[in-house]
Structure formats: C-alpha cells, structure tokens
Amino acid sequence: MEEFLQSALEANRKIYEEINSGFRSEWLDYLQTKGAGGDISSKLDIFAEDIFIKHLKSFGQIISEEIGIYGSGDKKIIIDPIDGSSNATSFYPYFGSSVALQNENQEIEAAVVCNFANGDIFYKIKNEPLMYGNFNKKGFKEEKSIALSKIGLFERSYSYGEIVKRLFEKKLKYRAPGAVALSLAYAHRVKFVLYLGDIRIYDVTAGLFFCEDLKVKIAKNYVIVAKEIEVLETIENIIKEVKDEFK
C-alpha cells in the first residue's frame, strides 16, 4: 500500500510542478471527441492522465475519465486526471485530481486527491485517518473537522434554482467552486457538501472514501455529506420536496 501511495503522490507532484512552472498554451486546446466520462477532454486532461498511467499502471487496471479502461489486473485504479477541467482552462484556481485504489472485493484501499491550484493534497489508507499536506510544505497531519463552519459547497447549483432558493430560506450558505472530488476532500472544513446530477465514479470515489467519519447520503442522483445529521436531513427534505427538477 505504501508503494502505491508514494507513486500516486509522486504523480500528483509531477503534474503540480509542471502546471505551476508555466501553464502551456496547448493545454487549452480541446479534442474533437468525448472522453469515457462523457465530457470533451482538454489536452491538459490528457497530459495529466499520461502521467498517472506511467506511475500507476503496475498496480492494476486503470479506469480513467478520459481514456476509459487501460491495462489489466485484479485491482482497479479509478482516476479523474483533472477534476474541474473548465476551472483549469479558465485559470480559476480550484482544480485538481482524484485517485482511488479498489481491491478485488470493490473496497477502496487508498485514495489521493490533490488541488493543483494551491498544492493541497489529501490521502487516506483504509482504516486510517484522512491526512492533509501541501506540496509547498513538509509533512502531513491528520485532517480535523472544523466545528463552526459557516458555509457549504454545492456542486452544480446552477441547474437547481428552486433548491438554491430553499437553501437560502433555511439560511444554509454555500459556494459552488466546480470540482466535485476537491469539494469532498474539503468536506471536514465546511458545513456540508451537496452534489446533484449523474453520479460518476471518477468524481466521487476517492472523495467519499475521505468522508467515512461524516454523515453521508448517496442516492441515484445526489450526494450529501455533512458533519451534522440535522443539516443532512434538512437538505435531503428540500431535495425530496423539489422532485420536478429531477424529471
């Protein structure tokens, strides 16, 4: 497990250093076809994916948002090479990566999520606490929950106006940064994380693994994570009341 973790960290470090040494103009170009996840890939996505494949292919079969399935093996490595691609190519500083190692029993054994905009990096090994570090600093420490969080994170809020309105009525403030895996990685620091829409393994596998000690609700078309069960239930009730937005 340690070897996989170090390889995943090294791949993220390589991508982080390349991006922060100067954003290449060709990374802004998009391919003509959609990737396996259904989105059109940028050349930045492909650049990052190639680095992850190079570092992680020896650990099992890779399932990536861009290329789809690569290689073979009993274990699977689920990757989103660039989480928040539109943010990255718009120079909005909230984008990163998501990597999760799944064993033969479909259990997650380890995961790593990185924020390429600021160097924040999170990792977790099964049955161990979530760890936090930064590529610009030495060492890692256990990620702790912030008790008095003022805001939540609501991914894809732009598609759900009535839910936005009702969250406002309940005085549940939020931000919509636009990178699901990253938002789940930061879940211990905010009041809640809400994602609405189609749930893809690339987006949520690593991040949800980080949230095992929080309150989590996973349904067909939404994910709610909160530190307090009352907050989770309030949000879920709002969603159930606004069924027409999911038709």
Token pair of 180, please?
């699901």
Would you say the CATH fold of 152-246 matches that of 2-142?
A: no
How large is the C-alpha radius of gyration of the chain?
A: 18
- Asked if the model's pLDDT at residue 187 lies above 90, the reply is yes
- Asked if the model's pLDDT at residue 245 lies above 70, the reply is no
Measured CA angle at 209 (ends 218, 189), to 5 deg: 90
Confidence tier at 148 by pLDDT (50, 70, 90): confident
Domain borders along the chain are: 2-142, 152-246
The region of weakest confidence among 67-71, 112-116, 135-139, 178-182 is 67-71
Domain 2-142: top CATH class: alpha beta
Q: What is the pLDDT of residue 38?
A: 62
Q: What is the mean pLDDT of the chain?
A: 93
In single-letter form, the type of residue at position 152 comes to: G
CATH 3.40.190.80 for domain 152-246, yes or no, is yes
Contacts 24+ apart (CB under 8 A), 204-208: 204/180, 205/78, 205/98, 205/100, 205/102, 205/108, 205/111, 206/78, 206/98, 206/99, 206/100, 206/108, 206/111, 206/112, 206/113, 206/181, 207/98, 207/111, 207/113, 207/180, 207/181, 207/182, 207/183, 208/184
Q: Record the pTM.
A: 0.93
Q: What is the pLDDT of residue 33?
A: 61
Cα separation of 166 and 150, whole Å?
17
